[in-house]
């Protein structure tokens, strides 16, 4: 059990480059990545930077996971409302 805690601590102390190299060590299949640029408020950027630094989370990883989470939630919500929209269209004779 002590060895697991040491491994966890080592993972927490990884730099961003080491984190992505560790993906290969832990047999995580690397996926193709693309560059994406967005404009956000400076205050939001600063808050994100501070949060990630405080919790030792790579910003790129945090942002990618947040996008996945929100996209998944929005898709579920749209799928849940799709039958309602279809029923409305049928009622109006648009279907």
pLDDT band at 90 (very low <50, low <70, confident <90, very high): confident
Q: Are residues 64 and 28 in the same domain?
A: no
Give the total number of structural domains in the chain.
2
pLDDT band at 1 (very low <50, low <70, confident <90, very high): very low
Q: Are residues 92 and 46 in the same domain?
A: yes
Q: What is the mean pLDDT of residues 66-87?
A: 86
Q: Are residues 46 and 78 in the same domain?
A: yes
Q: Are residues 40 and 81 in the same domain?
A: yes
- Give me the domain span that covers residue 13: 1-32
Look at residues 69, 38, 67, 63 and name the one whose alpha carbon lies nearest to residue 49.
Answer: 63
Q: Are residues 17 and 41 in the same domain?
A: no
pLDDT digits (tens, 9 = 90+) for 23-74: 555 555 556 788 888 999 999 999 999 999 999 999 999 999 999 999 999 9
């Amino acid at each position: 059990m002590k060895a697991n805690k040491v491994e966890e601590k080592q993972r927490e102390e990884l730099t961003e480059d080491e984190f992505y190299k560790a993906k290969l060590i832990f047999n995580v299949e690397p996926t193709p990545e693309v560059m994406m640029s967005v404009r956000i408020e400076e205050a939001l950027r600063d808050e994100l930077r501070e949060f990630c630094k405080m919790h030792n989370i790579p910003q790129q990883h945090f942002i990618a996971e947040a996008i996945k989470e929100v996209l998944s939630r929005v898709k579920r919500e749209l799928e849940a409302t799709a039958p309602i929209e279809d029923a409305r269209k049928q009622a109006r004779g648009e279907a």
